[in-house]
Amino acid sequence: MFQPTYPIRTARLTLRPVTTDDLDDVYAYQRRPDVMRWMLGGGPRTREQSRASVAAMAGEDALRAEGDCLTLAVVTGTGVIGTVELVWRSRADRTAELGYVFHPEHGGRGLATEAATALLDWGFDEFGLHRVYGRCHGRNEASARLMTRLGMRQEAHHVASYLFRGEWADQLVFAVLAREWRSRNRE
């Protein structure tokens, strides 16, 4: 079983596993159409859907097997402002996929970048990943900018490659290797 030593602390944030007590904070952003706009799995959540989401995320506190998701609540003095996650895509290739969702009221201050950086630091330095990739809808500019800001390279622009809410959508793929992450951190 692999998990960070909790909590992870950064300059402005605390990262720790999600708990069922986080429902109000998570629902506050999952209910918003602007947050869910480019996400797979449907539109804005009802409170009951958020309850199920929080219950699922609360179990994602460690990577036990390939395919598992590690989800961390990102906490400030005001509560949970978002989540960052790593999905363990391949044990053999030491590869994971990055994900993130944040409340827009806390956007534009680099907090998602700060949280994702801490998770990637754990993924590369502690968990021993070789490669982390991220995918987003071709029109999800904030997500593409975040991955670029993290130092991820855009590797692909798949045209009309997946069905998103009944329409063919473009998908962008970004990635970073451990050696790139480490040299970036030394800059």
Ligand X SMILES: CC(C)(COP(=O)(O)OP(=O)(O)OC[C@H]1O[C@@H](n2cnc3c(N)ncnc32)[C@H](O)[C@@H]1OP(=O)(O)O)[C@@H](O)C(=O)NCCC(=O)NCCS
Nearer to ligand X, 2 or 171 (CB): 171
Give the CA distances from residue 166 to residues 91, 143, 144, 170, in Å, rounded to whole numbers and listed in that order.
Answer: 33, 21, 22, 13
- Residue 126, helix vs strand vs coil: helix
Q: Which of 45, 131, 140, 174 binds ligand X (CB under 6 A)?
A: 140
Q: Which of 43, 59, 67, 110 binds ligand X (CB under 6 A)?
A: 110
Q: Name the minimum Å distance from CB 108 to ligand X.
A: 4
Does 54 help bind ligand X (rule: CB under 6 A)?
A: no
In the complex, residue closest to ligand X by CB: 110
Q: How many residues interact with ligand X (rule CB under 6 A)?
A: 19
Cis peptide before 7 (omega within 30 of 0): yes
Q: Name the minimum Å distance from CB 96 to ligand X.
A: 15
Does 100 help bind ligand X (rule: CB under 6 A)?
A: yes
Helical H segments across the chain, by residue range: 23-30, 33-36, 47-58, 111-121, 141-149, 178-186
Q: Name the minimum Å distance from CB 173 to ligand X.
A: 11
Contact, 13 vs 74, CB < 8 A?
Answer: yes
Contact, 91 vs 109, CB < 8 A?
Answer: no
Q: Which residues bind ligand X (CB under 6 A)?
A: 35, 38-39, 100-102, 107-113, 136, 140, 142-143, 145-146
